[in-house]
Amino acid sequence: MAIKLNHTIVHSKDPRAAAEFYSGVFGLPAAKPFGPFLDVNVANEVTLAFLSAEGMEVQMQHYAFLVSETEFDQIFGRIKQRRLKFWADPGQKQAGEINHHFGGRGVYFQDPSGHLLEIITQPYGPFPK
Ligand SMILES: [Fe+2]
């Protein structure tokens, strides 16, 4: 299978603030303008293309990032430093906690537009029976 996700548009209330948020919290290179987009690249060649929602209501999307244990510590440190709310679950019920699914660590938080972000140190595996 040769198909790879290459880019996705992240509709944002304020694309500049959103791109800076992703670069800052994740420790990624600064966004590069590309036409109407502000592009932030992650390690597996996927581009997050931030685009203004042009005053429309932003439909919440979910973006999950697989990170190393060290990166988790760094990113989670920035989440706490910025006093962002975080949850152990996507339903945002377990506030202030992280999860340990699939033998790793995971946590959910929101970007400035309300998209639900997740960092995990282990990819989702088979659910326990
Ligand atoms: Fe997820």
Please give the mean pLDDT across all residues of the chain. 96
Q: How far apart are CA 85 and CA 116, in angstroms?
A: 11
The pLDDT score that the predictor gives to residue 126 is 80
Q: What is the DSSP string of 51-96?
A: EE-TTSPPPP-EEEEE--HHHHHHHHHHHHHTT--EESSTTS-SBT
128 pLDDT higher than 70: no
Percent of the chain clearing pLDDT 90 (strictly above) = 94
Ligand 1 centroid vs 121 CA: distance in angstroms?
A: 12
CA of 60 to the centre of ligand 1 (A): 13
Tokens of 74: 């760094």
> Mean pLDDT over residues 83-89, rounded?
98
How many angstroms separate the alpha carbon of residue 41 from the centre of ligand 1? Answer: 19
DSSP string, 38-51: EEEE-TTS-EEEEE
How many A from CA of 63 to the centre of ligand 1? 7
Residues near ion ligand 1 (CB < 5 Å) are 64, 118
| Dist CA 100 CA 58 (whole Å) | 30
